[in-house]
Amino acid sequence: MLLKNLLFLLVLIGTPVMAQISVDDVKVETHEKIESQLHSVHPSLLYLYAARLFQEDRKEEAVFWFYVGQLRFRYLLVVNPDLPLDGAPALMDALNENVGLYINEWVGKNPLLWVSLIDKALEWDTSNINVVTPKETHVKELLQVRSGLVDLRNYIVNHASEIREQRKAAGLPVD
């Protein structure tokens, strides 16, 4: 159901797809085919792929691709500040609320895993080109966006015991 809602959002907003894979491909193609092209897709497809992985019970992979998507979408928005608010920024907000909510709720039970997957996402982004928003053209903005994710990572490291206690108090699982 969530995947259908996300597809509807993507169609409604009219998000462009930059690669050889489509929104429909993300639902059905092999993981290998999709992952070989994720460096060249609009970041919204990274969220959609993360949602698919989560539904397939490949949760660690889902967290990883969610953070790659979030990093790249934030970067896209920072270098394009004049985008209509009801377009890409609204789409990112909706994806964060829909996909990010259950992914972060799941991974929050294990702060060490959470940190390792954020590190992995940062490494992947460093090692892979960004066809949609080339990294070479906006280095300052890229560093700004990456530092936001690094700040989150550092917060998790420095507050892991507090995060666990807050989750216990809220009745959420902890590892």
Q: Which two tokens stand for residue 137?
A: 């053209």
Residues comprising the chain, all counted: 175
Q: For the chain, what is the mean pLDDT? A: 90
Q: Tell me: the pLDDT tens digits for 53-73?
A: 999 999 999 999 999 999 999
Number of H helices, E strands in the chain: 10, 0
Determine contact, residues 86/157, Cβ cutoff 8 Å: no
Cβ neighbours of residue 55 closer than 8 Å, sequence gap 6 or more: 2, 3
Global pTM reads 0.88
Please answer whether residues 118 and 160 qualify as being in contact, where contact means their C-beta atoms are separated by less than 8 angstroms.
no
Q: Which two tokens stand for residue 19?
A: 């690669």
Contacts of 73 (CB under 8 A, 6+ apart): 43, 44, 46, 47, 88, 92, 95
| Cβ(9)–Cβ(47) below 8 Å | no
Which residues neighbour 144 within 8 Å (Cβ) at sequence distance 6 or greater? 78
Provide the pLDDT for residue 92. Answer: 96
Which of these, 12, 40, 5, lies nearest to 22 by C-alpha position?
40
Average pLDDT over residues 30-45: 95
The pair phi, psi for residue 64, each rounded to 5°, is -55, -50
- Per-residue pLDDT of 73-115, as tens digits, reads 999 999 999 999 999 999 999 999 999 999 999 999 999 999 9
User: What average pLDDT does range 160-167 have in this prediction?
Assistant: 96
Q: How many CB atoms lie within 10 A of CB 77?
A: 18
Q: Of the ranges 11-15, 16-20, 32-36, 76-80, which one carries the lowest mean pLDDT score?
A: 11-15
